[in-house]
Amino acid sequence: MPARDLSEPARDTDFVACSRKRSLSELPPVQPNFVSNIPQKFLFCTLREAIQHFQQYASGAVFDAIIVDTFKLIPFLIPDAKLVGLFEETVEPMFQQIENVLLQNQKLRAARDLLLPRLMSGKMAV
């Protein structure tokens, strides 16, 4: 899918693609389900990488806050659907591994919480 001009309104089946950086506020109006068309893993990784940009522009007396105008300063690119699909295929095994390790850690914590008190009290021999 070739890149298209951001001045064109996005269709709900399109990904916004551009050849130069644009701020979030410059993206064309989109249908409410547009974000649902962006794969979650791509969106997660992209926003995770943008955290540093958000933190640079955040300000506040009590805690850092991001105001709406901040989004005008932060570039956000969405490549075409083919490239996003390749990205999803590449990171899927990594996310599966992360999920497996998290589940294993949860089970190990539960086993520790069950066994450690018994071992400490002497109710269970090693």
Q: What is the pTM assigned to this prediction?
A: 0.57
Residue 3 covered by a domain:
no
Return d(Cα 53, Cα 2) in angstroms, integer. Answer: 28
Q: Is residue 125 situated within a structural domain? A: no
Which residues constitute the domain of residue 77? Answer: 24-95
Under a CB-based contact definition with an 8 Å cutoff, are residues 41 and 88 in contact? yes
Tokens of 16: 């916004």
Please state, in angstroms and as integers, the Cα–Cα distance from residue 116 to each residue in 66, 81, 103, 107, following that order.
45, 50, 20, 14
- Let me know if residue 57 belongs to a domain: yes
In a domain, 117, yes or no: no
Q: Does 121 reside within a domain? A: no
Give, for all 126 residues of the chain, the pLDDT tens digit: 444 444 444 443 333 333 344 455 555 554 455 556 778 888 888 888 888 777 777 777 777 777 777 777 777 777 888 999 999 999 999 999 999 999 999 999 999 999 999 999 989 887
The pLDDT score that the predictor gives to residue 13 is 38
Answer yes or no: is 15 within a domain. Answer: no
* 70 within some domain: yes
Number of domains comprising the chain = 1
